[in-house]
Chains A and B, each alone.
Chain A
Amino acid sequence: MKIALCVKQVPDTTDIKWTENNTMKREGVESIINPYDIYALEQALKLKKMTGAEITVFTMGPLQAADMLKEIIALGADKGVLISDKKFAGSDTYATGKTVSTAIKKVLPDFDVILCGQFAVDGDTAQTGPCIANMLNIPQITYVKEINEFEQGTITATRLLDDGLEIVKVKTPALLCVLKSEFEPTRAKINDIIKAQDSEIQVVTLETLGLLPEEVGIKGSPTCVSKAFRPEVKHNCEKFFENGAETIFAKLKEIGVVK
């Protein structure tokens, strides 16, 4: 079995500082693996345990993202593919889907499963996964809580939805978008981290993919950001430093929550 795992390097959003022009202060902002992708990796490792699958991890980003791929190899993935070219910069979800799906077709044409995180914490779009599935013309399962079973080319998975859990079966090849779950992700062992430093990362460029420059990056993106702004806040909060419980109690009576 062959698994393509798609990951994204994102700025640590819990830690973002903004300039007055609403651009991100880049200095001191750490790049991390998108947290949802860690759970996709967990599911990939689960499939690997069940079937002895080989995991190839794909990411699109600058050359520095190779370090992240090595980190994921240290956690149990087998190979890393870095889709990197200055011409890919500014891609929206459509252009990203096109670039990543083309790379998977080139590098791992006989894949059985593609795993992605459900969201990336920087964009929160949850779109790239389904875009890749559509471009590769394979079924998709979104909101995957966990993979239950793999048997005779069919994956059984549990989806966590707003109104309950769905158990679904899908024939491979298929793409699954994985949610965060309750369990603690695996931590890399020091030996594996050292070993992973020597692993070779395959770099894929626009030329390798055989796409046209106008099909990728900003030019290949139907959408663009026309304006960015910080959300407004209201500043009419009445603050009390003492008698908290009494103050709330009185207010609850006033607004009719307590009779």
Chain B
Amino acid sequence: MSRGILLYAEVTRQGFIHTVFFELANKAVELSKKLDNAPITAVIFAQKDMIADYKDGFVKSGIDKVFVYDGFEKYSTETYTNIIVDLVREIDPEIILIGATNQGRDLAPRVSSALHTGLTADCIGLDINDKGRLAATRPTFGGQLMATILCNRDPQMATVRPKVFKPASVDNVRDTEFIYKTSDENADNVELVDFIKGLEDLKNELDSAQVIVAGGKGMKGEDGFKMLQTLADKLGGVVGASRGAVDLGIAPHTIQIGQTGKTVTPKLYIACAISGAIQHTVGITGSDYIIGINKDPNAPIFDVCDLGIVGDVFDVVPKLIDMLETI
């Protein structure tokens, strides 16, 4: 049997296991089959009495063993790094997968560096190659090129972009073993003084939105985005923006979609005056249905659209808003 896959189970500020963990778990089950049924292990920093709440999630998503560190609920880059490094030295996994969340991307490079190994960031594809090594695929150059990366040392590490892989199905039930560990690590050099919720609510809305109306450089100004907001309101959706619009300063970067922004998976995505650079489209191709409105019939956005409207947004969108008003 192979040495195993270790997954990081991030606990969110609200006290839930981050959804990306279940996506990692599902992928790990698939990878494990190609690695002689390598055992799948998870590490979580959580209070012992919370495990009852989390247990089902681990059992149903195919996790063989969970290492629980009680007493470290407050995230600390250095403490978490030191503890994970110690655990890795003990259980010697060949692969470590971490969600590419803010916390994951803060933690993972610290861990990989301490283990003197490589890390592939923000992956959108994972596979095992014919030599039994992890082949991790990620976008580079703003999503214009995909690169498959191999690591010649162990453990092989990757952070995985949320919402790219499907979450674990509930039929991977295992007889999960929970192991409670302690540590005297206490490298507390960073103090959290305050947390202000709210500013990024828009971004969270993008995460769960069923309808997204997004604007690009061609929206020209904030008034253009107000018009998109009206359309979004009519459709029960939210507004997003391309990097072009954000760089122009006509939309806040909190609503940026694409390689350096959010990946979104709504039912309906309407791209207004977005040319469709791959750095944008890489973040929207998981949408069920994509409508593009652009003056340029050759705009690359139409390559990812289901329905393309060649026309001026300032002509099409107000008309559409009027039509929606009459129903």
Chain A residue at smallest Cβ distance from B276: A233
Which A132-167 residues have C-beta < 8 A from chain B?
133-135, 138-143, 156, 160-167
Across the interface, do B320 and A245 meet the contact criterion of CB distance under 8 Å? yes
Residues of A within 8 A of B114 (CB): 134
A-B contact count (CB 8 A): 252
Across the interface, do A241 and B142 meet the contact criterion of CB distance under 8 Å? no
With known contacts A124-B260, A239-B297, A228–B145 Cβ distance under 8 A = yes
Chain B residue at smallest Cβ distance from A129: B109
CB distance from A227 to the nearest CB of B (A): 4
Interface size for B (C-beta < 8 A) is 94
With known contacts A140-B77, A162-B102, A233-B304, A247–B152 Cβ distance under 8 A = no
Across the interface, do A122 and B141 meet the contact criterion of CB distance under 8 Å? yes
Contact among A134, A141, A166, A227 for B147, CB-based, below 8 A: A227
Across the interface, do B151 and A231 meet the contact criterion of CB distance under 8 Å? no
Which B275-315 residues have C-beta < 8 A from chain A?
277-279, 281-282, 289, 291-293, 297, 300, 302-311, 315
| B78 at the A interface (CB under 8 A) | yes
CA separation between A130 and B107, bound complex, in Å? 8
Which B142-173 residues have C-beta < 8 A from chain A?
142-153
Interface size for A (C-beta < 8 A) is 81
| A38 at the B interface (CB under 8 A) | no
| B105 at the A interface (CB under 8 A) | yes
Q: Is the interface of A mostly helix, strand, loop or mixed?
A: mixed
Residues of B within 8 A of A143 (CB): 102, 106
| B211 at the A interface (CB under 8 A) | yes
Give a binary string over A114-131; 1 marks a CB under 8 Å from any B CB, 0 the rest.
000001011111111111
Residues of B within 8 A of A124 (CB): 121-122, 139-140, 142, 259-260
CA separation between A235 and B13, bound complex, in Å? 42
Q: Which residues of B contact A (CB under 8 A)?
A: 12-13, 77-78, 81, 101-102, 105-106, 108-110, 112-114, 116-122, 129, 135, 139-153, 187, 189-200, 203-204, 211, 235, 249, 252-253, 259-260, 267-268, 270, 277-279, 281-282, 289, 291-293, 297, 300, 302-311, 315-317, 319-320, 322-324, 327
